[in-house]
Amino acid sequence: MIIVRNDSGYTLIEIMFVTVILGIVSSSLYRVNRNISNTWKYNKLQAGLQQELRISMNMVVTNLQQARFIKSVESSLTSKIVYIDQKGEKKKIYYKSEGGLCLDYDYNIISNRISCFSLKLVNNLLYITLKIEKQNKEELLKTAIKIRPEQLNL
């Protein structure tokens, strides 16, 4: 009687070895995926903060550059600038600690995430600083605009 042996299968050791290797590879892929996800969330938050700052700064600068006259610049805890627009209407841009950066009225909010708005007028340059904070992340944006001498009516 002839006994035929079929040795074409895998041993238990080989299967366990492959399982361990697959476990190591899958756990490292999970870590890489988690790191990519965290980085993406952080960059998305940072981009959102920077975009909000740029939009707010653009609105402030546009309004001030189109102003006929700048009446007053206050650089106190609640920074405020009062100006006369092209229609001759008195307008103001100010910071309110619980409301954010406002245009004319408390309900007309430019951005409620702005945490600091400071103004400094030196000669004919108006320095503007905006700061925004969220989830222990802080972004700062500074600019200076040249005020025409005929605009100054302080």
The confidence score (pLDDT) of residue 17 equals: 94
38 pLDDT more than 70: yes
| pLDDT value for 5 | 66
Of the candidates 127, 101, 103, 96, the one whose C-alpha atom is nearest the C-alpha of residue 114 is 101
Q: Alpha-carbon distance 84 to 153, whole Å?
A: 10
- Residue 27 burial by Cβ neighbours in a 10 Å radius (0-12, 13-18, 19+): exposed
Q: Stretch 31-35: mean pLDDT, rounded?
A: 96
* Burial call 108-131: b when 16+ CB within 10 Å, e when fewer: ebbbebbbebebebeeeebebbbe
pLDDT tens by residue, 65-87 = 888 888 888 877 678 899 988 88
Token pair, residue 6, equals: 């079929």
Express each pLDDT in 100-133 by its tens digit.
888 887 778 888 888 888 898 888 899 999 988 8
Residue 76, amino acid: S
Q: What's the pTM?
A: 0.73
pLDDT at 32: 96
Distance CA 104, CA 113 (A): 17
